[in-house]
Amino acid sequence: MKFSSEFADELDELLRWRRDVRHFRREPLPDGLLESLLERAALAPSVGYSQPWRFVRVDESERRSAVIASFERANAAALASYHGDDAHHYAQLKLAGLREAPVHLAVFCDEATRTGKGVGRATMPEMLDYSAVMAVFVVWLAARARGIGMGWVSILEPDIVTATLEVPTDWRLIAYLCIGYPTEENDTPELARTGWEHRQPIEILAR
């Protein structure tokens, strides 16, 4: 299958506009849209065709509150690790949209799955986790193409979140996602816009 140059240009544009969103409108997603996005995860590559991703929607207020509390503890600990101007700058960053996003979605990797029969991970068992990450990225692109924003919250206590959601003990937390309509559109990462960090040139990243 060969795609047109116009499609390739649109794909490049989609990649540029895939941003980590932290500012959400509170309006809910249309019925069935999230489920449609998650179906796209089946198109992600996975080691041995293991398909180890597991999605858990978090709607209960008590569980959301526990996740927010975990974020606040982890964020305070992170702030304490910085000093001087970096500490001041870090304190100004908005690093999650947990209170505003209409959808909270936890993504796990089923480390005990027998699907795929272990192919491709005897020497690199972490490939299961990487496969789940690829599923997150596929869903992220599918969401962005439909005007939906997604934010990946990594400043959390994984054990606390896993226990809060009462998932099987063999499931490893990969991502906690905030999903909804963004309050603003920008093709530049927020951490770049605020001066926290800048894109590295290809000369540094490839050799």
For residue 149, the model assigns a pLDDT of: 97
* Amino acid sitting at position 69: A
Looking at CATH, the fold of the domain delimited by 31-205 is given as NADH Oxidase (3.40.109)
Distance CA 83, CA 137 (A): 33
pTM of the model: 0.95
> What's residue 71's pLDDT?
97
Check: CB of residue 106 under 8 Å from CB of residue 165: yes
pLDDT of 47: 98
Closest by CA position to 47, among listed 119, 109, 108: 119
d(CA 182, CA 104): 14
Per-residue confidence (pLDDT) for residue 115, from 0 to 100:
97
Which residues in the chain come in under a pLDDT of 50?
Answer: none
pLDDT in the model for residue 156: 98
| C-alpha span between 176 and 199 (Å, rounded) | 24
Tokens of 168: 């099987």
3-state secondary structure 163-183: HHHCCCCCEEEEEEEEEECEC
pLDDT value at residue 86: 95
The residues that bridge with 116 in the sheet, in sequence order, are none
**DSSP H helical segments within the chain, as ranges?**
5-17, 33-39, 61-80, 84-92, 127-145, 158-165, 190-193, 202-205
Check residue 112 and give its pLDDT.
Answer: 96
Report the pLDDT value the prediction gives residue 132, as an integer from 0 to 100.
98
